[in-house]
Amino acid sequence: MENVQQAFETLAANRLRAALTLLGILIGVAAVIAMVAIGRGVQNYIQAQFAAIGTNLIFVIPRGAAGGGPPSAALRDISSLTMRDVRAVEEATRGRATAVVPVVQRFGPVQGQGHEVVTVILGTTPGYAPARNWTPMLGTFLEESHVLNRSRVIVLGLTPTRRLFPETPNPIGQTVRINGIPFRVIGVMSDKGGSAFGDYNDLVFIPITVAQEMLDDARDPRTGEPLVNGIMLRVARAEETEAVVRRITEVLRERHRIRFQDEDDFVVLTQFELVSIFSQISSVLTIFLGALGAISLLVGGIGIMNIMLVSVTERTREIGLRKAVGARPRDIMLQFLTEATVITLLGGALGAALGTALASSIDVLSQGAVRAAVGPDIVLLAVGVSAAVGLFFGLYPAWRAARLDPIVALRYE
């Protein structure tokens, strides 16, 4: 306690110098806390966005599409999946998958009431909405009769609805056109939100049979079956996901006559894999951001060493006097280590408060989209590291002070 009291007295005697030294640690701790909190916030944000897509989902896409082909690429050039594959997958996963949904997707213009939007035109079946936990806000979603009868009906997402019908609160029954072909609006989907991955509301839905004929009319050259961009499945229970993935892979390899040593011409992705991929990316980002903050701590630690060396030089006569009246080298060393630790702990505490405030400001700047996650573990780690920095960089000055010869120190001017 005497060492701590004397440390505060020494800091008070050199206020400006102590404040500048403390500032280096303060900035370093604040940077570490803010950066790591932002990284964790991004992780939570990514997980929330995938949760918004739906739960227990499996996506089967052609390998050509997974390779990142151009959006304008023709379906016949990238797809290996047909409607027969959809029916085979549905049969193979019966009892385990609550929905098996084929999708045909293209970008294109949609006109209505003198306005035009370029959006995602999605040809699908009635199972799409329940698989995505997505319900219409107005009207209804696609029905089985629409698919069987090739009805020219359309369900609009919220974004194209607002752009096509800015002055019409209820566009049900209105007509829009795709490639000059009229479609009757039967529903408007509820707000699904948006993210860095895009606006989930920026799409329209039409029956898959209409989409296959009107948008691409792409067919498998071997069987003449209509092609699809992908297949989406919703598994009844999360623990059955791996078994369903294996069964899908077996069925499609057999249907596509893929030999044992050959690579699949399709890719099966689960939500867990997608979340894991993006979580790994965000984890690397968090580590990188934390490392940047740690550099500030290192600079602050060097500042502490510099100031403590100056303090040893200034207090050489004091050290000699202490030794002359019986102070042991370890007492001198402990005194200087205590001073360094007090500076870093003060800087760490103030830095923790500043870092938390900076992290909170991210919530405001992102308008609540990304919420920085400040946990007690981050704060304790940052303050603990700052104390360790003080001990480490204060060790050499303290050791140097402890080695001073008392006779030489008393004669020092």
Instruction: Count CB neighbours of 264 within 10 A.
Output: 14
In whole angstroms, how large is the CA radius of gyration of the chain? 33
Residues 6+ apart with CB under 8 A from 73: 64
Profile the chain (413 residues) by mean pLDDT over runs of 10 residues: 75 76 81 79 70 72 64 58 91 89 91 91 92 90 94 94 91 93 94 67 93 74 82 86 90 87 84 68 73 74 76 74 78 79 82 83 66 75 76 76 72 60
Which tokens hold the place of 26?
């303060």
CB 338 within 8 A of CB 7: yes
pLDDT of residue 121: 93
**Over the chain, what HEC string results?**
CHHHHHHHHHHHHCHHHHHHHHHHHHHHHHHHHHHHHHHHHHHHHHHHHHHHHCCCEEEEEEHHHHCCCCCCCCHHHHCCEEHHHHHHHHHHCCCCEEEEEEEEEEEEEEEECCEEEEEEEEEECCCHHHHCCCCEEEECCCCHHHHHCCCCEEEECHHHHHHHCCCCCCCCCCEEEECCEEEEEEEEECCCCEECCEECCCEEEEEHHHHHHHHHCCECCCCCCEEECEEEEEECCHHHHHHHHHHHHHHHHHHCCCCCCCCCCEEEEEHHHHHHHHHHHHHHHHHHHHHHHHHHHHHHHHHHHHHHHHHHHHCHHHHHHHHHCCCCHHHHHHHHHHHHHHHHHHHHHHHHHHHHHHHHHHHHHCCCCCCCCCCHHHHHHHHHHHHHHHHHHHHHHHHHHHCCCHHHHHCCC
* Cα 218-222-226 angle, rounded to 5 deg: 30
Average pLDDT along the chain: 80
Burial of residue 133 (CB within 10 Å: 0-12, 13-18, 19+) is: middle
For residues 161, 162, 166 and 172, what is the CA-based torsion angle, rounded to 10 degrees? 30
Strand partners, 60: 231, 268
As a whole number of angstroms, the distance between CA 46 and CA 36 comes to 15
As a whole number of angstroms, the distance between CA 66 and CA 75 comes to 13
**Distance from CA of residue 195 to its chain's centroid?**
10
pLDDT of residue 119: 93
* 64-120 pLDDT per residue, tens: 765 555 444 556 556 778 899 999 999 999 988 888 999 998 888 999 888 999 999
* Among 110, 140, 112, residue whose Cα is nearest residue 128: 140
* Among 273, 334, 262, residue whose Cα is nearest residue 58: 273
* 261-315 pLDDT per residue, tens: 788 888 888 877 666 666 677 677 777 767 776 777 777 777 777 777 777 777 7
Domain ranges in the chain are: 2-50+284-410, 57-236
